Chain A
């Protein structure tokens, strides 16, 4: 079932990518074409196949010691930010609530 413009608009809203009406049409065409390209993987019977999320063989349990390492200075941290005030990053009004943790 093909994605509609409404579907694509919903994804764009979630992905925080504002699209103009014309871009939305193009994007819908693109997405449906791209999804058609994925057809080959739908033909498999994969019930008994384990996924390979990490192409790293048997490598596991990679971790580091709990030892502090010097980070960035405040100036370095804020250097690339377009908006900040005193010691903090600054964002405009947040209407929706959030924060899952």
Chain B
């Protein structure tokens, strides 16, 4: 197969995503009062309603509807006042009623968009000339969202007797209804994505947005956020749509990207050999880096949709919508821009901090404990040091930041100090002082080290005096060694130059 970049030079990929997100931060299921179970034993959190027992009726979870409206507002969707739940029928025992309660033509929120900033190597996937790019090669891709609708998740099935729990070859299946009825929102994009990187970035941005809203733990790994991709190809310059395939098992950002990249190349190969792409569902096998056919769709499934008579329609009030709007917190893009404007952070650092609400919250809390000019160093600490440790306190973070910002410690010293204080109440300043690291800025103490080094490195001193100024680097190294790494290399440098010039 040809490389993605070559294929995309000749072909335009048309990609749409369907993203299912479980509202894991709710207490209860969509239509009954069962607790949401995360790792509970099978069939622990079930009741007549989510088991679809005869006579049981659904009543929607109001907070789930607040959450989906918030999700819509955060993705620039229009809130549809009037909508209804529908029944979608298919006989499969992961849905206890043999229908799924979902929404019909009108979803709670529709017609939104997310603007993606694509930069770095990923931006190169999009051939020049197909979109306006900045000098550094980055570009902004506006991606329209068709709708986000509310539905309920299915039960978990374990297939036994076959290989790896897969359905093919299994002799029987076990059903656990704990997950059945978990509130689920399904976002459907317009087919506006053009590269695997754009798809990956869309998913990443959506995840950051939903995490910031606090509506889900958004775990791709555990399946609380799941993505299917639709992709078709057309010759550059054409406007019709080719036959699309649907990709499943995209349970990491890398899988999403790599599966789409593979599928684009596969389809190009089929088309270039004069073949036709079949409308089919394909499964991504990450270990073998390929997609395989799950099933061929010959006709569209007929789900016998009709409005659920058990559920009163919705006619959302202004008050309800405004209450949801007020609950939407500052979103990652706005937060990033504020970090740049307030503290002069690097845009990429600011974006990383703003993208994870837990990190952003800690960063902002810590920012109150350091001098304003030390905040960029705090960002550095948050992104490059903190994640390596288990349980650093806010005070430990601000303390190490101040030491680094004042050049009192090197990064390698800081790592050693943090290792020692992690999970204890000890303060980095105290540990660094105890270990003698803080003498490093003490000019008198360091001057003694410099004298000792100059004394035994006569040859290098001579070289310097002969004009080889670079040799000072070697001498700084010797000083660092002599001070067991505790000295500040900048101070050593200054002292050495003073003495050698003097």
Q: For window 39-68 of chain B, which residues contact chain A by CB distance below 8 Å?
A: 41-48, 50-51, 53, 59-65
**Which size bracket describes the interface of A in this complex?**
35 or more
Q: Please tell me which one of the listed residues B33, B62, B157, B175 contacts residue A71 in the complex, with CB atoms under 8 A apart.
A: B33
Contact present for A90 and B62 (CB under 8 Å): no
Query: In the complex, which residue of chain B has the Cβ closest to the Cβ of A60?
Result: B315
Measured CB to CB, the closest approach of chain B to A12, in angstroms, equals: 12
Chain B residue with the shortest CB-CB distance to A89:
B175
Nearest-neighbor residue (CB-CB) of A78 within chain B: B43
Q: Assess whether B172 is in contact with A60, with CB atoms less than 8 Å apart.
A: no
* Residue B264 interfacial (CB < 8 Å): no
| Measured CA separation A72–B34 after assembly (Å) | 9
* A90 x B173 contact (CB < 8 A): yes
Tell which of A60, A66, A78, A100 touches B100, judged by Cβ atoms closer than 8 Å: A100
Say if the beta carbon of A98 comes within 8 Å of chain B: yes
B residues in contact with A77, CB < 8 Å? 43, 46, 51, 177
Q: How close is B169's CB to chain A, nearest CB, in angstroms?
A: 9
Given A54-B312, A66-B63, A67-B28: A88 and B167 interface contact (C-beta under 8 Å): no
Instruction: Tell yes or no: A20 within 8 A of B by CB.
Output: no
What chain B residues lie within 8 Å of A92 (beta carbons)?
Answer: 171-173
Quick check: A100 and B90 within 8 Å, CB to CB? yes
Q: What band does the interface of chain B fall in when counting residues whose beta carbon is under 8 Å from A?
A: 35 or more
Name the B residues within 8 Å of A53 (CB-CB). 84, 307, 309, 313
Contacting residues, chain A, for B92 (C-beta < 8 A): 98-100
Tell me which residues across on chain B come within 8 A of A86, comparing CB atoms: 42, 174
B177 cross-chain contacts in A, Cβ below 8 A: 77, 89
Which chain B positions have C-beta within 8 A of A85? 174
A63 near B61: Cβ-Cβ < 8 Å? yes
Q: Establish whether residues A72 and B46, one from each chain, have CB atoms under 8 Å apart when the complex forms.
A: yes
Indicate which residue in B35, B45, B95, B175 contacts A91 across the interface (CB closer than 8 Å): B175
Bound CA–CA A91/B88 (angstroms): 22
| Proximity bits, A74-101, B CB within 8 Å = 1, else 0 | 1001101000011111111110011111
Closest B residue by C-beta to A59: B312
Min CB–CB distance B40 → chain A (angstroms): 10
Q: How far is the CB of B259 from chain A (nearest CB, A)?
A: 18
Shortest Cβ distance from residue A66 to the other chain B in the assembled complex, whole angstroms:
4
Q: Is B126 in the interface zone, CB < 8 Å from A?
A: no
Taking the complex as formed, is B153 at the interface, i.e. its CB lies under 8 A from any CB of chain A? Answer: yes
Contact B32 A63 (CB under 8 A): no
A37–chain B nearest beta-carbon distance, Å: 20
Query: Which residues on the B side are within 8 Å of A74 (C-beta)?
Result: 41, 43-44
Cβ-based interface call for A38 (8 A): no
Does B314 sit within 8 A of A, measured CB to CB? yes
The answer to whether A101 touches B175 (Cβ under 8 A) is no
| B residues 293-320 in Cβ contact with A at 8 Å | 294-295, 301-303, 307, 309, 311-317, 320
Q: Known interface pairs A74-B43, A89-B93, A97-B295. Does A68 touch B33 (Cβ–Cβ under 8 Å)?
A: yes
Q: Which residues of B are found within 8 Å of A91, using beta-carbon distances?
A: 93, 172-173, 175
The reply to whether the CB of A1 lies closer than 8 angstroms to some CB of chain B is no
CB contact list, A39-87 vs B, under 8 A? 53-54, 56, 59-72, 74, 77-78, 80, 85-87
Smallest CB-CB separation from B186: which chain A residue?
A101
Cα–Cα, bound, A80→B56 (Å): 15
Contact A65 B62 (CB under 8 A): yes
The distance in angstroms between the C-alpha atoms of A56 and B303, with both chains bound, is: 26
Q: Do A63 and B59 touch (CB < 8 A)?
A: yes
Which residue of A68, A87, A98, A101 contacts B151 across the interface (Cβ within 8 Å)? A101
Q: Contacts of A88 on B, CB cut-off 8 Å?
A: 42-43, 158, 174-176
Q: How far is the CA of A89 from the CA of B314 in the complex (A)?
A: 35
Known: A71-B34, A99-B154. A61 touches B315 (CB 8 A): yes
What residues of chain B lie closer than 8 Å to A90, measured between beta carbons?
A: 172-175
> CA–CA, A92 to B158, complex, Å?
12
Contact, CB under 8 Å: B167 / A97: yes
Which residues of B does A touch, CB under 8 Å?
20, 26-28, 32-35, 41-48, 50-51, 53, 59-65, 84, 88, 90-95, 100, 151-154, 157-159, 167, 170-177, 184, 186, 281, 294-295, 301-303, 307, 309, 311-317, 320
Name 15 A/B residue pairs within 8 A (Cβ), A-sorted: A53-B313, A61-B316, A62-B312, A64-B61, A66-B26, A66-B63, A68-B33, A69-B34, A71-B33, A87-B43, A88-B174, A101-B151, A101-B152, A101-B153, A101-B186
A-B residue pairs, 3 tightest by C-beta: A69-B33, A71-B47, A63-B62
